[in-house]
Amino acid sequence: MRPPVVTILGHVDHGKTSLLDRIRHAEVAAGEIGGITQAIGAYQIEYKGKKITFIDTPGHAAFSAMRHRGGQAADVAILLVAADDSVMPQTIESIEHIKSAGIPFVVAVNKVDLPGVNPDRVKTDLANNGVYVEGYGGNVPLVNISAKTGTGVDDLLEIILLLAELEELKDNSSETPSTALVIESSLHPQIGPLATLLVKSGTFKKNDSLFLVKKNAGKVRSMIDYTGKAILEATPSTPFQVIGLSDVPSVGDIVSNTIIVSVGADPRVRPESSNPDPGTLTNIEKPTILLKADVQGSLEAILSSIQDQVNVVYSSVGNISDSDIQTASSAHAEILGFNVRISGSVTKLAEIEKVKFTNFRIIYQLFDYLKELQEKKTIAQGPKIIETGQATVLKVFNFAGTIVYGCVVTSGKIKITDKIQNSKISSLQANKTEALEVKKDQEFGLTLIPPIEFKPGDIMTATTTEVLPASKQA
């Protein structure tokens, strides 16, 4: 079973934020692991050994459309109604969102601790709007709660887990391709496009490619979970913030990783074997760097993204100093900066100490530069498999048993000598004539030995073998 995804809908000021805060405090008091954070617009708690994911959807009428998407993203909804106000205009709107999403829900009547309130009035008003709760002519569960004191909150969480169990939310982490829903997005002045994704199916991993409506949308350069920690993968119902998008997506967009056409394998990755493959990189030497950034947020984001790629001898916020040059010199490190400055005197010292300094204004350029450094430090034994291009399958034809794929090149180029997911290209045609290679935006047809079960919309990746000297090192 995967964790249920829950959204809280209701009228403004009926206590959604207070309820989320109370759930957080209840969890801490119970000694459970985890917590709620408001860093990425989605939170995950652990209650009695079971995880529950909450989506934070705005309660104001101006955010009606976003709240509607939140309902569609969830498995279970909480319809929050204040006992002193009862059903209000946005309560009715929330009911419509929940019905449109077709998901089970529980009514939480908040503020029952206030003097003079009548929770039964809420039941009557709900019935007048087509919601019939248990004991009042229907089967929708209702819980009286006080987000302020915590009364009834445990009962509410129990009902959420029960509704989720009845929904039989199967773990679909092995499904391909992986898909996620954009529930929040923004443009950070230093980091670039940011988005909070909620995994719907499959598993997202660091360095996965990202696609938006069959269009390349970037790459997972860094994954941050709801506690602010860097993670390497995210499974269904997990919210995470992604760094590496090429553009800011819209809330409600569906993002997927590279389309997978072979069972259980990413077509870009060579399958593992018990015997070392001649093209396997057997030794990767990490570059040594000293990192400086303008602000702490940028520094932390960069460090979380590059921790597996480099050896960082020192990192801090601020401009390059004499001590940075001395530290880098003694460690034989290169200094990388992000939006920082270096004075003339410090530059002269760097020249004397033979310390290289490179400053970046765009964070992805820094990441790409580090990748180049790592590749130069790689000691390869035998051939290296490299990607030469990608194409999207437009149509698949069957001519008397011969499978022909009609495609368009989306990046790089594809040669007759390349391989497609380890299959050989037996024929390559462009404009109805044989071709040796096809380039970006060019339509073409090809046959493969052995054929692969591509379908329209799938991505095929071309690779070639680059032979390197066994001792080559840059």
**How do the domains of the chain map onto residue ranges?**
5-167, 179-257, 283-379, 383-467
Task: Quick: pLDDT tens for 135-162.
Answer: 888 899 999 999 889 899 999 999 999 9
Which top CATH class is 383-467? mainly beta
Q: Return the higher-pLDDT residue of 373 and 462.
A: 462
Give every CB contact of residue 250 below 8 A, 6+ residues apart in sequence.
182, 185
Strands 42-47 and 283-284: unpaired
Domain 179-257, CATH = 2.40.30.10
63 DSSP assignment: G
* Sheet architecture: strand order including 105-110: 42-47, 50-55, 5-10, 76-82, 105-110, 142-144
Q: Which CATH superfamily is domain 5-167 in?
A: P-loop containing nucleotide triphosphate hydrolases (3.40.50.300)
CA distance 383 to 471: 12
Read off the pLDDT band of 383 (50, 70, 90).
low
Residue whose tokens read 């809420």: 122
Read off the pLDDT band of 226 (50, 70, 90).
confident
Same fold, 179-257 and 383-467: yes
Strands 105-110 and 142-144: parallel
Query: What pLDDT is recorded for position 131?
Result: 93
Q: Return the higher-pLDDT residue of 22 and 378.
A: 22
Percent pLDDT > 70 in the chain is: 82
Amino acid code (one letter) for 85: D
Amino acid code (one letter) for 470: A
CA distance 117 to 124: 14
Contact 299, 291 (CB under 8 A): yes
Average pLDDT, the chain: 80
Give the relative orientation of helices 363-377 and 296-306 as an angle to the nearest 10 degrees: 30
Task: Quick: pLDDT tens for 326-369.
Answer: 888 878 899 999 889 999 889 999 998 899 999 998 877 888 88
pTM here is: 0.52
Which residue stretches of 277-343 are H helix?
296-306, 322-331
Q: Which CATH superfamily is domain 283-379 in?
A: Translation initiation factor IF- 2, domain 3 (3.40.50.10050)
Q: Which of 215, 255, 218 shows the shortest CA–CA distance to 239?
A: 255
CA distance 71 to 185: 17
The average pLDDT across 177-195 equals 81
3-state secondary structure of 87: coil
Contact 405, 393 (CB under 8 A): yes
Q: Which of 73, 24, 94 shows the shortest CA–CA distance to 239?
A: 73
Residue 115: both structure tokens together:
């003097």
Task: Quick: pLDDT tens for 84-110.
Answer: 989 998 888 888 888 877 889 999 999
Amino acid code (one letter) for 30: A
Query: What pLDDT is recorded for position 396?
Result: 92
Amino acid code (one letter) for 152: G
3-state secondary structure of 444: strand
Residue 176: both structure tokens together:
């391909």
Residue whose tokens read 């248990």: 134
CA angle 93, 98, 100 (to 5 degrees): 95
